[in-house]
Amino acid sequence: MSLSTGLAGAVLISAAPAQAAIIRTDFGLQGTAYGTSVEGGQLPATSGKSAFSWISCTRQAGREASNHIASANLGDAVEIGAVTSANRTWKSATGVHMGSTNSIASVTIGDPSAQEGALEVKALETKAHAWHDDKGYHARTRSTGFLVATAGTSPIQTNIEQLPVVQVPGQKFEVPLPKSGEFLTVPGVVTLTSDWTNNVTSRSFGHASVNGLRLDLEATDAMVIVGRAWARVNGGVPAGVMGGRAFGSELSLLDGSVTSGQTAVKPMPCPGTGGVWKSRSSLGSTIPGTASIGVTESQVYGKQRTNRSAVAKTRSTVAEVTLGDGQVSLNAIVAQANVNKSRNGDFTKSSNGTSPGTITLDGRTSALPLDGTFPLGDLGRIETNEVTRSKFGIKVTSVKVTLFNGAAAHSVLHLGNAWTSLRPS
């Protein structure tokens, strides 16, 4: 049994157009939804998210987004039916709302006609709703659906409800969705549990989040999350809504397709961080056949001021990277992206604080050029200080390593990555 990172047969539909009535609010609204994601096992990195739909942090009520796949194949083990994910912001008579919904027609794990048994998830729907009204912030989630378990040569095990001790192979049982602490195991195939729900409210935000189900596949040790919905309403955004993230590394092919996920990712909260640096670190990671990456730290900083001025910064630091079989070492890589907004509404964007660090090659250490190209012969090349500016943001990659491994399959390793944005509406 194996899993692939692709979604065979997937048919994508672009985001729905925004509603005609767009209303600017005093809140930051954001949400995401997706059908499935796969981690671990035989996969070298986190898989893509099926039917991923989102609304980035915005002040606007009346926004809509959606995505859909007709079907997906996560290898021989898991078949996904139609998935629809949707997000919506709206304003009612007394409140401002953010909602995210994920609907999955079916998820089939294993072969119902095989001796090992199988498990099917039917009509799964997860919803997350966060809002603010005259009584404060609120958060609510909901999951609906049911399971069909097919017995194999070994009895199904569960604490959801009592199943007969004697189970005939091929016999089907309809079972309710698991709640916290409940499980269902088809031996040799899968163990299914509820994942988690996290609803939090405070004086400054409402946060609703649910992962519907977790599937642990026995043959591959892979984990599949099914039915993700997340919604958040933030206060305290007088200058605008912040966005972006910092992360240590990402590996892609020359055509831009991602083959290894972002490491030590730290996203920027919509209202900022209250004027303090917040960080996430990783002790190290290895991309087989490509690189060994040392300690990585990702940081974000955002401060809103009552006069509607603000500053937003993201920073990524990578201590050491060893390329290939160890003949090249890169050290002290730093990327920083900065956005400042004055009380008059003027924006300043910079990559101040960015440094490509040093390179050790053939036993000799030298500084990498601050903005240029460093050839590595037959191994590849290094490019530094890649900066992209937009109206309200800036993206910085401190070091980009292109590794020559075939004319149509060059790998690109992005090291030290920082992205920051500040949108007034």
Domain identity same for 158 and 89: yes
Give strand pairing partners of 260: 251
Domain identity same for 247 and 321: yes
User: Among the three residues 234, 260, 289, which one is the final residue of a domain in this structure?
Assistant: 234
Answer yes or no: is 229 within a domain. yes
Between strands 83-91 and 64-69, the pairing is antiparallel
- The structure's pTM equals 0.75
Give yes or no for a contact between 88 and 118, defined as CB atoms under 8 angstroms apart.
Answer: no
| Nearest of 416, 271, 276, 229 to residue 332 by alpha carbon | 416
State the burial class of residue 288 (Cβ atoms within 10 Å of its Cβ: 0-12, 13-18, 19+): exposed
Number of domains in the chain: 2
Domain identity same for 245 and 193: no
User: Among the three residues 234, 260, 291, which one is the final residue of a domain in this structure?
Assistant: 234
Domain identity same for 199 and 273: no
Mean pLDDT per block of 10 residues along the chain (425 residues) reads 39 38 92 85 53 89 92 74 94 94 92 85 96 96 93 89 82 90 91 91 95 86 89 93 92 65 86 94 80 92 94 97 87 97 94 96 91 88 95 96 72 94 87
Domain identity same for 219 and 257: no
Give yes or no for a contact between 125 and 100, defined as CB atoms under 8 angstroms apart.
Answer: no
User: Among the three residues 176, 200, 234, which one is the final residue of a domain in this structure?
Assistant: 234
The Cα 171–Cα 147 span in angstroms is 14
Domain that holds residue 102: 23-234
Model pLDDT, residue 3: 43
The Cα 333–Cα 370 span in angstroms is 11
Domain identity same for 372 and 325: yes
Between strands 136-150 and 83-91, the pairing is unpaired
The Cα 255–Cα 216 span in angstroms is 32
The Cα 41–Cα 21 span in angstroms is 46
Give strand pairing partners of 124: 104
Give yes or no for a contact between 339 and 331, defined as CB atoms under 8 angstroms apart.
Answer: no
> The dihedral of CA 105, 228, 197, 231: what is its sign?
negative
Domain identity same for 292 and 206: no
Answer yes or no: is 360 within a domain. yes
Domain identity same for 190 and 281: no
Give yes or no for a contact between 354 and 338, defined as CB atoms under 8 angstroms apart.
Answer: no
Model pLDDT, residue 75: 64
Domain identity same for 105 and 176: yes
Answer yes or no: is 307 within a domain. yes
